[in-house]
Amino acid sequence: MKRSVINQAYRDALACFGRGGWALPPRQRWDITDFGLGDFDRFGLTLVTLADEPEYCEKLMFARRGQSTPCHAHARKKEDLICRSGELTLKLWAARPLAGAAPARSFPVRLDGELAEVAAGAPLVLAAGSRVTLLPGVWHSFWPSSADCVIGEVSTANDDTADNFFMDPSVGRFPEIEDDEPPAVRLVRD
């Protein structure tokens, strides 16, 4: 991933957060990724870790229409994904989806704190202010269905290096970076 793409994503996220009145803490931890796929416009996410404590983590994320986060699950992390602005679409599965398999049945998840049945693999649209609670082992992918979207995440302790399991084995959590210009922001892996 080129540093120039990272720098522009950082500026775009700051502008979006500013328009929404999101004040960031003095010491932010930025992570901007194309998941090692080399196509940030299709597979991109900009994340800011707001709190990273032994018991919990909070992140603010930014994505534009056309960008998706590839299907993945966590073995240990429980998380709430909250649409903070815009509209967020997710697909959820109770177990690892198998290519060519018949669609799985619905399963229970918490939507806005209430138990609801969700059809596995069907689009689930969250309006601004809505949230979904994902237990460990729930496979999920998500993307903005609006021009852009601010996504909140509140979760149990976060381990991005050992607790992200992607459907596609070519997907990686942290891309290689090509420094084609000086960094505008320090990333968690710098």
pLDDT category at 105 given cuts 50, 70, 90 is: confident
CATH of region 3-166: 2.60.120.10
Reading across the β-sheet that carries 29-33, which strands appear in turn? 29-33, 45-52, 56-64, 148-156, 79-85, 131-134, 106-111, 114-119
What are the structure tokens assigned to 184, written together?
């505008």
DSSP string over 121-186: TS-EEEETT-EEEE-TT-EEEEEESSSEEEEEEEEES--TTTS-EESSTT--SS---B-SS--SS-
The residues spanned by each domain of the chain are: 3-166
Round the average pLDDT of the chain to a whole number and report it.
94
Residue 139 contacts residue 75 (beta carbons within 8 Å): no
Q: What's the confidence (pLDDT) of residue 32?
A: 97
Angle at 129 between CA 107 and CA 138, to 5 degrees: 25
Burial class (CB in 10 A: 0-12, 13-18, 19+), 147: exposed
* Mean pLDDT value across residues 14-20: 95
What are the structure tokens assigned to 156, written together?
């149990």
User: What three-state secondary structure class fits 4?
Assistant: helix
Give the model confidence (pLDDT) of 142-165 as tens digits: 999 999 999 999 999 988 889 999
The Cα 110–Cα 135 span in angstroms is 9
pLDDT category at 98 given cuts 50, 70, 90 is: confident
The Cα 135–Cα 79 span in angstroms is 7
The Cα 57–Cα 50 span in angstroms is 8
